[in-house]
Structure 1
Amino acid sequence: MKALIAAAAVWLATSALAAPKPDNALLKAATAEAPAVTGTLKSLVEVESGSGDAEGLETLGRYLEGRFAQSGGSVSRVKPLPGTVGDIIVARWKGTGKGRLLLIAHMDTVYQRGALAKAPFKVVEGAAGPLAYGPGIADDKAGIAVILHTLPLLSARDYAELTVVINTDEERGSVGSGPIITEMAKGMSAVLSFEPTVYPETMVNGTSGTNTVIVTIAGKSAHAGAAPEAGINAMVEAAHVIAVTKDLDRGPGKRRFNWTVVNQDRGVRNIIPNNVTLIGDLRTATLAEVDQFRAELAERLKTPAVAGAQVVAEVRVNRPPFDVSPASSALIEEAQAIYATLGRRLPLMPRTGGGTDAGYAAIAGVPVLEFLGLPGAGYHTTDAEYVHLESVPSRLYLAASLIRRLGR
């Protein structure tokens, strides 16, 4: 028995010595920096910056220019591709390290002006600690806040070059900024993307490609009471289209497809509608899945239910999917090891149905790590979007540690 006790004592002592230890100086600095994040979140949330809101995006862009300049960055603006509102804010730092790193986040939200009045910024106590609420706070203003407050934890020896890109059209598929992100990612040692994660935090095995499905239906107008049979009811045909395509959604973890918008040029109660446009959201893991969906959709719609109706379908590819490469997997393992020093876990979850700019960055052929923002929930819901402030010190520590390990 004495021998067993002695052996156990040696094992415990050896295990304790072998257990990973955090960088205490960095952890202390991250913990000291964390309280200021709440104030930054308030400042960011209280500028309404919905996609397409030129005034709000300009105001927030000026705020970010000032913050990055205060941190010693060389700040510039990059014009997005035509059709996108708001300049891309780019900040650069030169250092004495070895790695070139790109940090990305977005300032636009899904909310239109007026959402803040209905759901003002607030901090409330939750079961797992304080929660900060506000439109767009998790997606993705918290990601910007993490970047802003990671910068003071770094020194010039932590990177050869550090570039931050904040775009303005992520919620619309980054069609104006995605190719620019791809170009900026080329030649980088790694790209770190600051989209939100869930709580408790996880890493992700990939994000979905986002695509738009448009079906236009042309019919013929007629008096709805006197001679409806003389018309061709585009709305009835639209109902048929929805009915025969709803099972094209394959469920969680697979291809997702849902009709989300119905448009009609002229809607009058007593006129048989002669045109309807259906818009749907398609999420795919590969570009090949888009082609497969396109073929299946065409097969379902080849025979209209209403005689004479003309149905035209189009599938537009917006944002490419992000697939975790071996190099990206190595970044995930690095992040998991860093978090383990804090006694926290970062389990790897399957591909998410959401689409992010990680897909554009990955096209450059460089390793990409996604979900480095704050953990939260309620994305895209005006009065219920929030982040966990309890996680702020560990998220700052994680971001700074990754930059140091990749940049030195």
Structure 2
Amino acid sequence: MSTLPDTEQLVAGIRAWMQCESPTSAPAGVTAMAEFTADYARQQGLTATMIPLGDHVGPALYATNRAAGDTRAGLLILAHMDTVHPIGTLDDNPIRIEGDRLYGPGGYDMKAGTYIALSAMAGLGEPGATALPIDFLMVPDEETGSHASRPQIEKFAANAKYCLVCEPARAETGMCVTARKGTGMLRLGVKGMPAHAGVAHQKGRSAIKEMAHQVLALEAITDYDRGITVSVGTIAGGTATNTVPERCRCVADFRVPDMAAADYVLRRMRELCAVGPDIELDIDVELNRPPMVKTAASTTLLEKAQGFARVAGFELNDAPMTGGGSDANFTSAMGVPTLDGLGADGDGAHTLNEYILVSTLEQRVKFWHLLLKELA
């Protein structure tokens, strides 16, 4: 096996990456992270190219060991460079090691996973050094739904035999992910009729009162037995306390285990009707990420990965379906056998107590090296 970085080197590299704050909302920060990552990819012998995605989001980064003219279906690796932590988080939350834990915003989700996968390319950068050509795509907007990067994800997935995703391993268990719920969003606007709340209350049509009916109807779509959840997350309306409110709006999140459930929820939401008279509803609903459904092909891929994990010194177990979405949802929906949650072990994603387990890093990089080199 080619020389792989040891624990000390891995910790140093991950710490340096965490120092580059890259929230989705700061394209300059994501661009700096992309440049940082591109440099490391080139050190591993890969060809790295920036892919502009527009003025309001950072670029995607594509790295590969393909030879010119090699059009074979390859191994697609997906990662994201953006985090949820705003610029300045490091000021009050410095990167630190306490025992076996390396704390730092964006480390567990998911700079460590990306760094591990790229580090595992040691000695594999040349064309032909891996059983399959490697296409490594790192996107700038996964944390907000991958709206700008989805076309690129699907473009590369169209020529992928397998897809591996660097999202963190499941907290405390180290399990990978073969099934994720689909995620969607409803934006609902209600228009009523304003009136003076004291002088002409009867002439008004309260948008907030109507929204209360609609919120109950939306939440009632939740069916735990079917794995369907609907959550009205934000709501706003009205102008003044002495005015019958003319407008109200809410945003609801929904999660579905399969496309049959997705179609059911979309139909229920699109069929919402006003309860009160003289009320207008404005319904905007979409399924942002299709469900990632475990298949026979992904099960076979998991079994291959589990063999490599044992050689690396640990057991790679399969987590139950998770309600969180990722870019794996897109590739899985295209029929590409996909494994997710193959990144760093740790816990605390999206919190200020986010950490990775230092003692697991060498096993993980060895596991990835075997995957990248031998998976066929």
Structure 1 counterpart of 2:244, from 272, 286, 293: 272
CA deviation after TM superposition for structure 1 residue 394, in Å = 1.2
Q: Within 5 A, what are the aligned runs for 1:142-157?
A: 142-152=112-122, 154=124, 156=126, 157=129
SS at match of 1:200: coil
Distance 1:398 1:216, change over 3 A: same
Distance 1:386 1:303, change over 3 A: same
Residue 91 of structure 1 is matched in structure 2 by: 63
Distance 1:286 1:269, change over 3 A: same
Structure 2 counterpart of 1:175, from 118, 124, 147: 147
Residue 117 of structure 1 is matched in structure 2 by: 91
Partner Cα distance (2:301, 2:357) in 1: 24
Residue 356 of structure 2 is matched in structure 1 by: 387
- TM normalised by structure 1 equals 0.82
Residue 258 of structure 1 is matched in structure 2 by: 231
CA deviation after TM superposition for structure 1 residue 357, in Å = 0.9
Partner Cα distance (1:107, 1:222) in 2: 50
Residue 103 of structure 2 is matched in structure 1 by: 133
CA deviation after TM superposition for structure 1 residue 216, in Å = 0.9
**Does 2:15 correspond to 1:42?**
yes
Residue 221 of structure 1 is matched in structure 2 by: 194
Partner Cα distance (1:389, 1:167) in 2: 25
Q: Within 5 A, what are the aligned runs for 1:18-57?
A: 25=1, 29-30=3-4, 32-57=5-30
Give per-residue Cα distances to partners, 1:276-322, cap 9 Å, x unaligned: 211111112223322201333356x4242x44332233321212222
Gapped runs of 5+ residues in structure 2?
none
Amino acid at match of 2:179: G
SS at match of 2:122: helix
CA RMSD in angstroms, aligned pairs only: 2.7
Residue 273 of structure 2 is matched in structure 1 by: 302
Partner Cα distance (1:112, 1:216) in 2: 29
Q: Within 5 A, what are the aligned runs for 1:158-173?
A: 158-173=130-145
Give the structure with the larger helix fraction.
Answer: 1
CA deviation after TM superposition for structure 1 residue 193, in Å = 0.9
Partner Cα distance (1:252, 1:196) in 2: 27
SS at match of 1:196: coil
Q: Within 5 A, what are the aligned runs for 1:301-340?
A: 301-304=272-275, 306-340=276-310
**Does 2:374 correspond to 1:401?**
no
Identity fraction in percent: 26
Partner Cα distance (2:208, 2:96) in 1: 44
Amino acid at match of 1:391: T
Aligned residues: 371
Partner Cα distance (1:363, 1:341) in 2: 30
Residue 192 of structure 1 is matched in structure 2 by: 164
SS at match of 2:303: helix
Structure 2 counterpart of 1:205, from 178, 185, 189: 178
CA deviation after TM superposition for structure 1 residue 213, in Å = 1.1
CA deviation after TM superposition for structure 1 residue 271, in Å = 3.6
Q: Within 5 A, what are the aligned runs for 1:10-21?
A: none
CA deviation after TM superposition for structure 1 residue 201, in Å = 1.1
SS at match of 1:348: coil
CA deviation after TM superposition for structure 1 residue 164, in Å = 1.2
CA deviation after TM superposition for structure 1 residue 401, in Å = 0.9
Partner Cα distance (1:351, 1:195) in 2: 15
CA deviation after TM superposition for structure 1 residue 162, in Å = 1.8
Amino acid at match of 1:296: R
CA deviation after TM superposition for structure 1 residue 371, in Å = 1.2
Residue 47 of structure 2 is matched in structure 1 by: 74
SS at match of 1:63: helix
Distance 1:289 1:271, change over 3 A: same
Partner Cα distance (2:244, 2:156) in 1: 52
Partner Cα distance (1:91, 1:188) in 2: 14
Partner Cα distance (1:174, 1:293) in 2: 22
Distance 1:104 1:401, change over 3 A: same
SS at match of 1:384: coil
Distance 1:298 1:159, change over 3 A: closer
Distance 1:286 1:310, change over 3 A: same
SS at match of 2:375: helix
Residue 345 of structure 2 is matched in structure 1 by: 375
CA deviation after TM superposition for structure 1 residue 214, in Å = 1.4
Distance 1:205 1:83, change over 3 A: same
Contact 1:95 1:160 in 2 (8 A): no
Amino acid at match of 1:119: N
Distance 1:94 1:290, change over 3 A: closer
